[in-house]
Amino acid sequence: MTTALYSHADSHAHVTPPGHPERVERLEAITAALSDDRFSALDRRDAPMADPSELLRCHPESYVTRIEAAIPTEGSRALDADTHVSPGSWAAALRAVGAAGAAVDAVLDDEIANAFCATRPPGHHAEAEKSMGFCLFGNAAIAAKRALDQHGLSRVAVVDFDVHHGNGTQDLLWDEAHTLLVGSHQMPLWPGTGDRDETGAYGNVMNLPLSPGTGSAGFRRAWKTHGLPALDSFAPELIVISAGFDAHEDDPLAQLALKEADFAWITEALCDLADTHADGRIVSTLEGGYDLNALAASTAAHVDVLMRRGQ
């Protein structure tokens, strides 16, 4: 068994305006980091392009049509103050959804042990009918729904350790009783959601808000005390990770002050849970991380654990 890396050149064709934090260089930094000899055993796969119907697992057709129609033939178009699209954004978005879906299929078909999807745009802020926070479609939520709908799983966990609350994933899975969403994030911070009392229609959402400057000890304590026990009780058959690395101490958009070792630690803990309940099955998809060096190092630490545990 191996770890698969899903990526595609189309992910680089989603171009944002100069100075935008969610930029092509993010993937270039990750690609360079994962080209090191220690990652030579990665099973490198092209991310397939999802059929647009796949988006309907979480988004209404009217929204999907609106996003496709908003893609410009040249230049850039702002969907809101933070979220922009370019001529290559539609293909990139379908590759991001397709990567996560293909990873779910391969993991559940026992082709691979686990997977990391190095794609963009990210997805955890995209609500059912609203793009926001650099995100167009709910990549992780759609992947979780695919595991339920197409593979017949009964319990899928989505874990989000991005520094910003995954309001989109929460919106998309709020009424899905067969999922458990557990996420840590800085509060106060954009988008302003993610209070502890936001628990989902079936008690299927657990938010772990953390104060600015929390650091490693507080992050690990929150997961040890609340997040990991909840996941253990849920006993997921698959874990989908929204892997945002913007909680790093060098990231310019937040102040949680984590280190690469913290991302390795939470990955190890999730692998332990996956080994116990899900035959090791994990699909991880890229979310945030905006300091290029910190992003590259943190992603490498995350993937290194996935590879070692997937052997």
Q: CA-based diameter of the chain, in Å?
A: 50
The catalytic position among 125, 164, 165, 277 is: 125
Residue 4 has phi, psi (to 5 degrees) of: -100, 145
Identify whether 12 is a catalytic site residue.
no
3-state secondary structure the chain: CCEEEEECHHHHHCCCCCCCCCCHHHHHHHHHHCCCHHHCCCEEEECCCCCHHHHHHCCCHHHHHHHHHHCCCCCCEECCCCCEECCCHHHHHHHHHHHHHHHHHHHHCCCCCEEEECCCCCCCCCECCECECCECCCHHHHHHHHHHHCCCCCCEEEEECCCCCCHHHHHHHCCCCCEEEEEEEECCCCCCCCCCCCCCCCCCEEEEEECCCCHHHHHHHHHHHHHHHHHHHHCCCEEEEEECCCCECCCCCCCCCECHHHHHHHHHHHHHHHHHHCCCCEEEEECCCCCHHHHHHHHHHHHHHHHHHHC
- For the record, the structure tokens of 85 come out as 């699209």
CB 263 within 8 A of CB 161: yes
Catalytic center residues: 125
